[in-house]
Amino acid sequence: MTKLTPRMRNWLEGLGAHIGTATKKGFPTTIVVESAKVEGDNIVKFQLSEAQVAQVKQNISENPQVALGPGGLGSIRAAYQFKGVARLESTTLIVEVKEIYCTKPGPEAALRLDTLPYENIVKFESTRWRDTGPPK
């Protein structure tokens, strides 16, 4: 099962994400949420505004597949992309992450991380980035 590392959690919780959703025929909509809460190994919860719920409700109901890119400075410092399935509970978007990719520009872009042993993911991170989350 997919497991987020502490670094991934820190960046998502600290700066949120750009969240891509789409109709089942592939027409995309992106929303921006500035914080998140990570629960368990791979559940990410986003508190949406009423306007955001209205924007993605139909997409999520017909196509629960979503993609997340860490927000703000995380777009470059936390070069991950998370893909999973989402559901709405009232104004909370709950994403179960099923796939994790590296988006570091260059030859490692699109490298799938969640298929590696967890220890290897942590090692991968530690050899590429020195921080453990966004600046305070």
Binding-site member from 104, 118, 122, 124 for another protein (CB under 8 A)? 104
Indicate which single residue of 23, 58, 120, 132 sits in contact with another protein (rule: CB under 8 A): 23
Residues that bind another protein (rule: CB under 8 A) add up to a total of 46
Q: Which is nearer to another protein, 19 or 113 (CB)?
A: 19
**Three-class DSSP labels, 59-104:** HHHHCCEEEEEECCCHHHHCCEEEEEEEEEECCEEEEEEEEEEECC
Considering only residues 74-103, where is the footprint of another protein by CB under 8 A? 74-77, 79, 81, 83, 103
Q: Which is nearer to another protein, 1 or 109 (CB)?
A: 109
Contacts of another protein in 39-68 (CB under 8 A): 49, 51-52, 54-55, 63, 65-68
Closest separation in Å from C-beta 11 to another protein: 12
CA distance 98 to 1: 8
Cβ closer to another protein: 22 or 121? 22
Kind of pairing between the strands at 17-22 and 28-33:
antiparallel
Pick between residue 49 and residue 120 the one whose CB is nearest to another protein: 49
Residue pair 127/117 in contact (Cβ under 8 Å)? The answer is no
Nearer to another protein, 117 or 135 (CB): 135
Going from the C-alpha of 88 to that of each of 58, 61, 85, 105, the distances in angstroms are 10, 9, 11, 32
15 three-state secondary structure: helix
